[in-house]
Structure 1
Amino acid sequence: MQKLITVLKKLSEEFSLESYEWGVPSNCPIEIPTLDDSNFEQNIYLKENLKNVLMLTDTLDHFYWIIQQWGGIGSFKKNDVNDAKIIKFLTELEKKTLTKVSFERISSFSKVASFLNPNDYVIYDSRVIYALNWLLFNYAPQVDLFVQPQGRNSELVKYDMQTIFRLSGKKHIFRSHKNAYHEYCDLMKMLSIEVYGVGSQPYLLEMLLFDIAPNAILKDIEKRVSVKINL
């Protein structure tokens, strides 16, 4: 694990979060200070303040805003079926075990969890898991991997991680959907403190992994992975 922490520290120094690319939509439910037009600072403000609104509302409208507008998952439409799925997920979240149905939407639902309680819950995003799995596989092989949600990044699709792992011939195990999310959050909390210091929020590491997946991680894969076809 120490080797992984060392690599993450190096990456955090090389890739500043001040250049974080994900912006906050203009129709945000709360007023966001300009904060020098920094996407990073605006997202931090949103993380720390939107929870106050979420705790006071009786509707799921803000949850849909997080998924659809901030998260960019417009396909998750507001209807009674999806209302029930969100409520079911929140119930399972407290019980610390997820059903397969909830985990199938973890990319969406974890966004809600991360805004409700940014101290304990982190976004389980395809890009983040892609980067994390690659680093775990190479620098902490004793740690079980995480099932990657379906993503939309065209660059990551070029190098399917599970195919790379299988072709490597190295032993690897993926966690169960029942406890993967909570174990992921615990790991991110621990690693975030190691990388960014005591008192650091786990979303800092999540933001770093999100940013480096389509550049630093892909470059590392291209440099280290090759396939020889025997005819």
Structure 2
Amino acid sequence: MTDMIVLNSIPDDVIKKVVARLHPYRNSLHELYRWPLRGALKTEIINARFNTWTPDWVRSLRGQEHKSIYKQSIALRDYLYEELNGEMSYERRTKHAAWIVGDWGGISIKKDGKSETDLFDIITSVEEDGFQFKRVASWSKYFAFKSPQEYAIYDERVIYSLNWLLFTADSGCNYYLPSPGGRNTVMNLFDYSLLIFIRHGDLGYKYLTDALKQDVELRKNSRSKSSLLKKLKNKIYVKNNKSYSAYLEIMNAVADALYDKDDSKRLLKTEMILFSIADKDIPLEVLSEYKNIGV
């Protein structure tokens, strides 16, 4: 895989502000983290994915349903860390990857050999050729499970929360992260892209007005789709092919300041917080910000 890029433009005080915003949540993950695990462990799901073979870690997790979702999730990560870093046949590794991405992660992966092999081909491509934006929400799940101290999941909810915190820390920043797609209805409703463009020092109302007029004029006599959003994002968002490297750099900086350096799960916990606040706390802040500007 490729080395991380250096975001020379991100000031230390921005990281400090993001950390300060996340600090109240750092010890609340037992109550905060609610991504359900039980459904992915159902007998019919496991049998269909693993061809009636039940892995030992599944049996172990089924005995922990009385624990919090957070504790179950940590146990899952621990079990699969050992599993994925041990000896395993290609077939079983593809099955595990498909379960992580599809059954646990909620991304559609058919329970057939071709879909599972196609997924693992992308994972192998990333291992051999470096990070790519194509299906980043899928392959990053596998690497986050296999090497949790090095990688985090590039999830739509995490990106939604992180970009908002970067915006509130520095509205003029040029290191917003592109969306991998797959937003839920809440995030779609409380989209804040326009706020980012309006508040950015290199853009603003006048720039947006002129850019919109120009875009309309260019498409006046054609059926071509608007490229305005893409042009705006190109100015202040990290390029797609650099997005995962930039994401890891920001996440590591935040995690190192938010948790003790000897906490091996600091990157995972930071990801879990950002994931968890995307459905409520961040949308409420977005709504409040729109109210403040009189929308």
State, as a whole percentage, how many aligned pairs show the same letter.
Answer: 27
Report what 1:129 is aligned to: 159
- Structure 1: which amino acid aligns with 2:155? D
Counterpart CA distance in 1 for 2:24 and 2:152 is 22
| Residue 218 of structure 1: aligned partner | 283
Query: Aligned partner of 2:29: which letter?
Result: L
CA change 1:120–1:143 in 2 (3 A) is: farther
Correspondence for 1:49 among 65, 71, 79: 79
Measured in 1, the distance between the counterparts of 2:181 and 2:122 equals 21
Is the CA contact (8 Å cut-off) linking 1:121 and 1:185 kept in structure 2?
yes
Shift in alpha-carbon separation, 1:220–1:11, aligned structure 2, 3 A = farther
1:179 partner SS: helix
Rounded Cα–Cα distance in structure 1 between residues aligned with 2:190 and 2:130:
32
SS in 1 for 2:237: coil
In 2, Cα distance between the equivalents of 1:10 and 1:145?
A: 23
Farther off after superposition, 208-217 or 198-207: 198-207
Give 1:186's aligned residue.
249
Confirm or deny: 8 A CA contact 1:96 1:179 kept in the other structure: no
Give the number of aligned pairs: 222
TM-score (norm 1): 0.84
Larger Rg: 2
- Residue of structure 1 equivalent to 2:30: 18
- The question of 1:65 aligning with 2:99 is answered yes
Where relative contact order (Cα < 8 A, 6+ residues apart) is larger, the structure is: 2
Q: Normalized against structure 2, the TM-score is what?
A: 0.67
1:175-231 per-residue CA deviation (whole Å, 9 max, x = no partner) reads 1222211221232122112112222320101100111111111111111124668xx
Label 1:83 to 1:161 Cα distance change in 2 as closer, same or farther (>3 A): farther
CA contact (8 A) 1:4 1:135 kept: yes
Q: Which runs of 5+ in 1 are unaligned?
A: none
Superposed counterparts of 1:52-131, under 5 Å: 52-55=82-85, 56-57=87-88, 58-59=90-91, 60-73=94-107, 75-77=108-110, 78-80=112-114, 83-93=117-127, 95-98=129-132, 103-131=133-161
Q: Is the 8 A contact 2:238 2:246 kept in 1?
A: no
Check 1:184–1:68 CA distance in 2 against 1; reply closer, same or farther (3 A cut): same
Q: Distance in 2 between matches of 1:214 and 1:130?
A: 10
Mapped partners of 1:3, 1:114: distance in 2 = 25
